Every structure is written in C-alpha cells, then in structure tokens.
C-alpha cells in the first residue's frame, strides 16, 4: 500500500468520523441532563476506535460501496446496452477473430480524466503529508518542552503534601508509584507521563491553597491516572495530527477533552464523603483564581483550561448524583445503538481494494508506456525465446529463455500482481500484455491514458465476480515530442475474488486501437 492509498483511506475514515461526531453530538444534546458526565465522555471512545480501526464488515452503509455507486452513475442517466443474444468480435495480435459472448447492461458512464485526477490527488496528498510533518515536529518540540519542565521541577515537596498524595492513593486503591513536584513555569495542575506518571503542581498553587484544597487537586489528577486519560489523550493528539484538515473531527476532539475534565470531576467526587462536592468545586475556582486561563502542555491533562469551561463544570459538580440502574440501562442502550451504527458505517476495505479501481488500474497499466517500457520491449524482440537448433546447447537455450522471461516480466510488473494466474496466462497467450508496448515501439511513441470510462457491474447478484465494460482514451506522443495522436479502445474486464482480494481473471478487447489495425 503506497502513500496515495493511505491518503485515500484517511479521507474515507475522515468522512465516517465526521458522521459519527454529528451522531454523538446529537445524542449528547438529547440526553444532556439524563446521563452522567462519564457517559458524555466515554461515548467519544466510539469515535476513537472507529478512526483507529476504520474497516469492518460489508454493510449497505459501506462508504466504499457508496463511492463505487457514485463513481459509476451518470448525471444524465443515459443507457448503453449490448444485446445478450449477440456476440462481440474481438481481435488478437495475429489478426485472427474469435467470438466471445457478452451479456452486459450499463446505466451510464462518466469520463474520468485520469491525469487531472492523479495530479489533484498527489497535490492534496502532499499538502496533507506536509501538515502531518509540521504537526509531528510541533509534537516533538512540545514533548521536549514537557520533559525539560519535569526535569527542572522542584522535587523537594513538603512532607504534608507527600502524605496527602499517599493518603489519596490509598483511598483510590492505586499502587503504582506516582511522582509529585512543583513547577514555576506551568499554570495549571497537570498529570503527565504515560509510563511513569507524574503530577506537576504550579508553585503559586502549592503555596496558596489549604490542605483540603490540595487534597482535591491531587484526587483530580489521580482520577485522570486511574481512568487512563493520558493514554486516551495521546490517541486524540495523534489522530488530530492525521485528521488536521477536518474541522468537524477537530471540534469533536475538543469536546472530548472538555468532557474528559467533567468526567474526571464526577469520578473524583465519588471518592469523597457525601456533601463534599461543593468544596471540591470551590477548589477548582480557587485554582483558576491563582493561575488564570492556562495553555495546555503537550501530553498532559490540565485541571484548569479556561473560565468558560469552569462555569459548566461547576454547575455539573453542584448537581452531582450517584449513577442508578436506570441511567446505566439507558446509557447501555445508547452505546449499543451508536456503536452499532459506527460498525455498520465503515470503509470495509480501502477504495484501492475495490474491483472498480483494480479494473481501472489494470487497463491503465496496460496502455501506459514510457520510454523505458519501449526499450524493454525492443530488448525482448532482440532476445527472442530460445530454440534448440544447430550450434545451440540446452544450457545456452535455457539461459536465453531465462533472459527472455526476465525481460518479458519487466513489461508486466504492474499488471501481473493484479491478475489471477489463469488470467495472466490468458493475456500472455493473446499477447495483450505487450500490445501497448508493441504499438509504441513500432511507431516511436510513448502513451498514456487520458480518460477512462467504466460501466456498471453486470453480475449484480454475485458478490465474488464482477464484469465491467470499459473505454479508454489514449494519447500517443512521438519520442521527439513533436507529434501527438489520440486513439481509443474498448473491451471488458472480469474480476474474481482470490484469497479475499479482487484479481483480474478475464480481459478482452472489443474495439482495438486504430494504430494497431
């Protein structure tokens, strides 16, 4: 799978993710006050899982199928039909005629300018990759900054603060060693460290809060640790880098981070005595007073981000209620419904694994001939298959055959992997595999496919077999660049599933190139 294939998968996953974000936002809006903050946070995990694993079973909501249907439908809805009772003449390189029955009906065809499509796709892929590289450099810089902050932080914390940390860990049943230090350069209490967790406390917060408020701060950060929020935050960060071009997904990630803090508040309060939620809320307000709005450090969970978010959190803290069975059942039903929709809405496979794309790539590779391919064809003609005759030995003949086979395969390196063994043997027998190279070599041309036309699959009810009628328009350019000739060819491509992958099994030409005739 090359970089363009990865880019196509990213685009399809981006579309799916956008739909899931909209579904989650609507669901959260409907059940805003009926479900706990933890539900409002963890339902976002459906989005993360779907972006990480975009493939799934074949369903009517398969995005690749939607793409294929759109790809083949004509805006004018014109119809082109071939009578099943008729037979189509095909011509091979020996000018002999064979009769092949075709049963085919197509509802319209679109011309796809391949050159333009490839150029646009490559430009967009380059822009996407450039954005990923820039964000990766920013991530590395941010990680180095955080590492420096932790290294330079004040490790000599007070005995009382260490005792509070130990007491909170005991209440929350946390046995992992968690570091604690003060820092003058951060503006909000934060948890960092995926492998070695560490709590950073701003110096002015550590010096100006009471012991009870400090306990609530530690409880909040330990809850982040217990919920594995650092790991989830890293997934969000990495996915934000890959999908930087999609504002809907970026907004979803932003809302998920906000819901993470509200969920953490809710879980932290559950460890406190009844009625302590108001004091917990006051401690958040106190931290905001001491630090103001803060800028989030890369790879951390910050307790306080901005004042607008604090208002919403304080309201939810003041309305804290323990989860009951009714809420659990409702949340479970919603997760099953939304999760089921996310599973149904998938890419199945990358667009590049779909038969429609394999068919196009196969025909395009056959008729795309550059100077190197012409040279290889000429070399093929000079070698010729080895034949035992006077003065020839079996060894010299075998060596000639090996050289001939090697040169022949160099012409098919982009075609053979797309075909079944039987299909490849067939085009070798008809010499369709070297038709484009032969025409170019004889006329001192190079060739490229300028547009491609594909019809609808004739085998609609067969999930393991497809046949497409195609028309390819080609441009032949003389080797000196002074002469251009346009031509077209028609035929059909039939594909089968082999070991779960689509392969070309039959290929036939119904209207040969004029240059060949």
Which residue segments constitute the domains of the chain, with CATH numbers given?
1-73+323-353 (no CATH), 87-109+354-511 (3.10.450), 120-247+262-310 (3.30.2010.10)
Q: In what order do the strands lie in the sheet with 300-302?
A: 179-183, 198-202, 190-192, 300-302
Buried b (16+ CB within 10 A) or exposed e, 360-393: bbbbbbbbbbeeebbebbebbeebeebeeeeeee
The helix (H) or strand (E) run that includes residue 140 is helix 114-152
Q: Which token pair is 237?
A: 């960060």
Task: Tell me what pLDDT residue 127 has.
Answer: 94
Please name the residue that has the structure tokens 């530690």: 218
Please tell me the chain's helix, strand, coil percentages from 3-state DSSP, rounded to the nearest 5.
Answer: 55, 15, 30
Helix (H) or strand (E) holding 142: helix 114-152
CA angle (126 as vertex; 121, 129 as ends), nearest 5: 120
Answer for the pair 330, 33: CB distance below 8 angstroms, yes or no. no
Long-range contacts of 397-406, Cβ-Cβ distance < 8 Å, separation of 24 or more: 404/380
A 10 A CB-CB count for 485 gives: 15
DSSP 233-251: HHHHHHHHHHTTT-HHHHH
The pTM (predicted TM-score) of the whole model is 0.64
Cα separation values, 138 from 124, 126, 186, 296, Å: 21, 18, 18, 14
- The answer for 490, left when phi > 0, alpha when psi is -120 to 50, beta otherwise, is beta
SS3 501: strand
Nearest of 214, 230, 354, 222 to residue 297 by alpha carbon? 230
Nearest to 193, CA basis, from 216, 171, 172, 222? 222
pLDDT at 73: 42
pLDDT score recorded for residue 72: 43
Q: Work out the angle at residue 450's Cα, subtended by the Cα atoms of residues 444 and 451, and round it to the nearest 5 degrees.
A: 140
Q: What tokens were used for 354?
A: 């779909």
pLDDT of residue 303: 80
Distance CA 245, CA 168 (A): 42
**pLDDT value at residue 4:** 77
d(CA 388, CA 188): 85
Q: How confident is the prediction along the chain (517 residues), in pLDDT tens digits per residue?
A: 568 778 888 988 899 899 999 989 998 888 877 778 888 888 898 899 888 887 655 555 555 555 445 444 433 333 333 333 333 343 343 443 333 333 333 344 444 454 566 678 889 999 999 999 999 999 999 999 999 999 998 888 899 999 999 999 999 999 999 999 999 888 889 999 888 899 999 998 998 889 999 999 999 999 999 999 999 999 999 999 999 999 999 999 999 998 898 889 888 888 888 878 888 888 888 888 887 766 677 888 888 776 667 777 887 777 766 666 766 777 778 878 777 777 766 654 444 457 888 888 888 888 888 888 888 778 776 555 544 344 444 444 444 555 555 555 556 677 888 888 888 888 877 777 777 888 888 888 888 888 888 888 888 766 778 998 888 888 888 887 778 888 888 889 999 888 777 889 988 888 888 876 5
DSSP state of 387: -
Q: Which residue, chain included where needed, has tokens 């939810």?
A: 316
* Other Cβ atoms within 10 Å of 437 Cβ, number: 23
User: Quick check: 355 and 466 in contact, CB under 8 A?
Assistant: yes
Nearest C-alpha neighbor of 313 from the set 269, 252, 276, 258? 258
């Amino acid at each position: 799978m090359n970089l363009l294939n990865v880019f196509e998968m990213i685009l399809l996953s981006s579309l799916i993710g956008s739909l899931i974000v909209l579904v989650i936002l609507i669901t959260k809006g409907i059940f805003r006050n009926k479900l706990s903050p933890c539900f409002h946070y963890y339902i976002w995990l459906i989005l993360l899982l779907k972006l990480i694993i975009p493939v799934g079973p074949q369903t009517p909501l398969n995005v690749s199928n939607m793409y294929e249907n759109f790809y083949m439908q004509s805006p004018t809805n014109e119809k082109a039909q071939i009578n099943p009772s008729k037979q189509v003449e095909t011509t091979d390189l020996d000018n002999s005629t064979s009769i092949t029955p075709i049963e085919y009906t197509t509802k319209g065809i679109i011309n796809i300018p391949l050159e333009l499509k490839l150029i646009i796709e490559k430009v967009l892929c380059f822009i996407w990759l450039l954005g990923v590289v820039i964000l990766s450099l920013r991530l590395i810089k941010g990680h180095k900054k955080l590492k420096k902050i932790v290294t330079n932080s004040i490790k000599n914390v007070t005995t009382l603060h260490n005792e509070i940390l130990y007491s909170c860990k005991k209440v929350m049943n946390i046995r992992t060693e968690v570091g604690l230090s003060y820092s003058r350069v951060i503006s909000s209490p934060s948890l960092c460290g995926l492998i070695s967790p560490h709590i950073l406390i701003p110096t002015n917060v550590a010096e100006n809060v009471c012991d009870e408020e400090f306990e609530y701060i530690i409880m909040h950060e330990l809850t982040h640790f217990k919920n594995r929020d650092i790991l989830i935050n890293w997934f969000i960060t990495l996915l934000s880098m890959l999908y930087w071009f999609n504002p809907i997904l970026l907004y979803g990630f932003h809302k998920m981070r906000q819901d993470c803090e509200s969920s953490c508040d809710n879980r932290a309060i559950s460890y406190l005595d009844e009625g302590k939620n108001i004091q917990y809320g006051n401690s958040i307000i106190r931290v905001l007073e001491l630090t103001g709005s803060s800028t989030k450090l890369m790879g951390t969970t910050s307790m306080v981000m901005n004042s607008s978010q604090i208002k919403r959190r304080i309201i939810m803290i003041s309305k804290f209620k323990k989860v009951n069975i009714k809420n659990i059942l409702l949340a479970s039903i919603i997760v099953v419904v939304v999760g089921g929709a996310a599973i149904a809405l998938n890419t199945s496979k990358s667009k590049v694994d779909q038969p429609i794309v394999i068919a196009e790539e196969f025909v395009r590779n056959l008729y795309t001939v550059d100077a190197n391919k012409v040279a290889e064809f000429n070399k093929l003609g000079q070698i010729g298959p080895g034949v035992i005759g006077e003065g020839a030995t079996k060894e010299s003949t075998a060596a000639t055959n090996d050289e001939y086979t090697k040169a022949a395969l160099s012409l098919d390196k982009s075609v053979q992997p797309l075909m079944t063994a039987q299909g490849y043997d067939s085009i070798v027998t008809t010499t369709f595999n070297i038709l484009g190279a032969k025409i170019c070599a004889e006329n001192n041309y190079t060739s490229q496919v300028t547009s491609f036309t594909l019809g609808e699959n004739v085998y609609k009810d067969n999930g393991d077999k497809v046949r497409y009628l195609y028309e390819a328009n080609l441009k032949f350019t003389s080797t000196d660049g002074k002469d251009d000739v346009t031509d077209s060819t028609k035929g059909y491509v039939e594909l089968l599933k082999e070991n779960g992958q689509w392969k070309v099994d039959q290929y036939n030409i119904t209207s040969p190139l004029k240059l060949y005739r």
